[in-house]
Structure 1
């Protein structure tokens, strides 16, 4: 029991302890703070190593500095730490929580922070019980790296009693801060060629960064997928992810992937491939994006596209494949739309394609992405799809051009490094 208590003392803000907080991610902090003070469970989801732990610690520290919460009223547990390996199930978690209350005897509301909680068997029973306890009042903040495990189980037990925040790696504005640089084409290009995994910016050279990104990928595949899913062919899972990385923004069908592996003398079943793709998506490594018929206002079955959660996987692990900056830009625009809470589709209208149809509440945005519009021919091509849309919703062309082009028949040009300004 002494070892368990020592682990709690080591990682909590008691006795004058403090956290290394890293870059303060105010866009997330502000959203989450708006829900502080009620019984809703605050759920942070996202790919492993995207910064969820830092955000939880930033919130915990903010409760003390901004709201005057006593440090003894905050309990933080990260299941990733070896010291907490003994917490296999919700009963062990409950015992540790009761040990905390016995030792510190906190007065009033307690704030519970549990990182990577999906690694505790039956965790949802603990969360459900303490989030609704009106005698020993608790407010819970939890994080996890598997979309299905969190959403399905929370939706079952906590319907209407939780709020979810999808955490992405650094965006461009955060990159500017952590890289201590200025906004513009040059720095945005550097961002595209690096990625946003926060820990990358604490590593000294390209080789250590490459090793880190490889370890993130392996950890997600092995711990978040293989350990939890019926994966019989780990190599195939890895190869499917490699295929996704190198086919970002291309129209995608499972049959095409089957044919690809068949050309390599590897037999893959439709069901196996479909399952592996869903596992990759559940772990937030990539996102499936359906096509949307703009004129018919309906989602189309069949081919889709995939986009990566972070460009570091492409940039550090598989840079030898043909992959222009335009593809990196398109992926970055997609993720920025998702960061701002848009539901994103690939648009089709007649025989033309619109890169993105983004929807949020009553707002609809059509976006075409182009690396550079150096010639009149290129400009005509990029504007053509948007010009064919008859409605009056917002329309933009996003590019890396240094020159800001004037609006054209209601279509605005946005330089990629200014994209966030139009999405607010």
Structure 2
């Protein structure tokens, strides 16, 4: 079974002559499958190239118009999978676009830091970027139906959304596949980089973060726990973000001196990866980290749905030094929207609500729980 990806129509829409669509995303998330689906969907005369193959990698890195033209042939759509493997890929794509203005190009890559550095400057004004995340709750709803998706909410919270995991029914096999994913794929881009040799420290770092979801993270404390210097920890965190294992959210402040802004919170792009790191796939009734799972799930699912809805937002958390806090703040359309995540009963504390709205009187605040989370994860924004 193959899950339909909601981003496909958007990618097709922006696949225009003279433009390069860059599709980022972690390994094993389905970029190659989406590229093949796009070829079928567009009906254009297409050429698919895997840049892991040396022959094509050398030709695509040649900066030679004639050799690039030979690679292109009579294709109208050129797909370059694992494009970060090609040396000077940005410059070579620029030559292709300038020399063959009729061509549409899709370049995929798992190592965003590498691909972005090679592409951004040469392709200024010529590229459009998308990120393919693990399968979203919205995509699961579309595939299995609203009732079945909600009925299996526990499964998505525990096992996450990697395609191979979503389509596997056997829990033992799911655990094994996630173990392979975490052990063999997620760190490969980092470990291939010169100067990164401490794979066990990266795993230890992620395990520490797995227990600090929704909390401000001290880089100094992480460094002490790992027996590393702070700069090394910060470098590892940056690399883990760039290969789509974790993402950071900063503090929000406009008015109050006592608001915390310098600290950072980290979340995982996938709950299943997080649970594999701590080797805990227990059912929800046996867990003491339900609040962490729920918050991480909602944070990353909101990130996915914002892209599906083509909604560009600034994302923060809000906390004061006297411990008033709101889990998630979005700045969108000139307004602030605050969300507090609750797995169980409860609401935003009255003192917190009063202080936040006093500072930001035009903001909206809302508690997200099991009764209304599907609205929060809908492509249609509130107020539209």
State the TM bucket, normalised to the shorter chain.
0.7 to 0.9
Q: Take 1:222 and 1:183, find their aligned partners in 2: how far apart are those partners?
A: 33
Of 195, 217, 230, the residue aligned with 1:270 is: 230
Match status 1:344 vs 2:315: yes
After TM superposition, the structure 1 = structure 2 runs for residues 215-364 of structure 1, keeping only pairs within 5 Å, are 215-261=180-226, 267-296=227-256, 302-320=262-280, 323-339=288-304, 340=306, 341-349=312-320, 351=322, 352-364=324-336
Q: Which residue number in structure 1 is paired with residue 162 of structure 2?
A: 197
**Higher Cα Rg, which structure:** 1
Q: Which residue number in structure 1 is paired with residue 309 of structure 2?
A: none
Q: Could you list the per-position Cα deviations for residues 134-160 of structure 1 after superposition, in whole angstroms to 9, with x for gaps in the alignment?
A: 4x6311111111222233332211112
Q: Take 2:214 and 2:95, find their aligned partners in 1: how far apart are those partners?
A: 43
Q: Which residue number in structure 2 is paired with residue 379 of structure 1?
A: 347
Deviation, 1:361, is 4.6
After TM superposition, the structure 1 = structure 2 runs for residues 53-202 of structure 1, keeping only pairs within 5 Å, are 53-64=32-43, 69=44, 73-79=45-51, 84-89=53-58, 90-91=60-61, 98-100=69-71, 106=74, 110-134=76-100, 137-179=102-144, 182=147, 185-202=150-167
Secondary structure of the 2:38 match is: helix
Q: Take 2:264 and 2:376, find their aligned partners in 1: how far apart are those partners?
A: 24
Secondary structure of the 1:60 match is: helix
Answer 1 or 2: higher relative contact order, Cα 8 Å, separation at least 6: 2
Deviation, 1:165, is 0.7
Of 364, 373, 381, the residue aligned with 1:394 is: 364
Secondary structure of the 1:421 match is: coil
Secondary structure of the 2:208 match is: helix
C-alpha contact (below 8 Å) 1:293/1:349 kept by paired residues: no
Q: Which residue number in structure 1 is paired with residue 284 of structure 2?
A: none
Deviation, 1:276, is 1.1
C-alpha contact (below 8 Å) 1:24/1:58 kept by paired residues: no
Of 3, 7, 14, the residue aligned with 1:35 is: 14
Deviation, 1:253, is 0.9
Number of aligned residues: 364
Match status 1:367 vs 2:333: no
Q: Could you list the per-position Cα deviations for residues 334-362 of structure 1 after superposition, in whole angstroms to 9, with x for gaps in the alignment?
A: 11232204331111256311111112353
Deviation, 1:294, is 4.8
Report the CA distance shift for 1:97/1:201 in structure 2 as closer, same or farther (over 3 A).
Answer: farther
Q: Take 1:245 and 1:298, find their aligned partners in 2: how far apart are those partners?
A: 28
Q: Structure 2 unaligned segments of length 5 or more: list them.
A: 282-286, 307-311
C-alpha contact (below 8 Å) 2:56/2:71 kept by paired residues: no
C-alpha contact (below 8 Å) 1:245/1:313 kept by paired residues: no
Secondary structure of the 1:132 match is: helix
C-alpha contact (below 8 Å) 1:258/1:269 kept by paired residues: yes
Report the CA distance shift for 1:418/1:206 in structure 2 as closer, same or farther (over 3 A).
Answer: same
Deviation, 1:132, is 2.1
TM-score, structure 2 normalization: 0.84
Q: Which residue number in structure 2 is paired with residue 419 of structure 1?
A: 376
Q: Structure 1 unaligned segments of length 5 or more: list them.
A: 1-20, 262-266, 402-414
Report the CA distance shift for 1:93/1:201 in structure 2 as closer, same or farther (over 3 A).
Answer: farther
TM-score, structure 1 normalization: 0.77
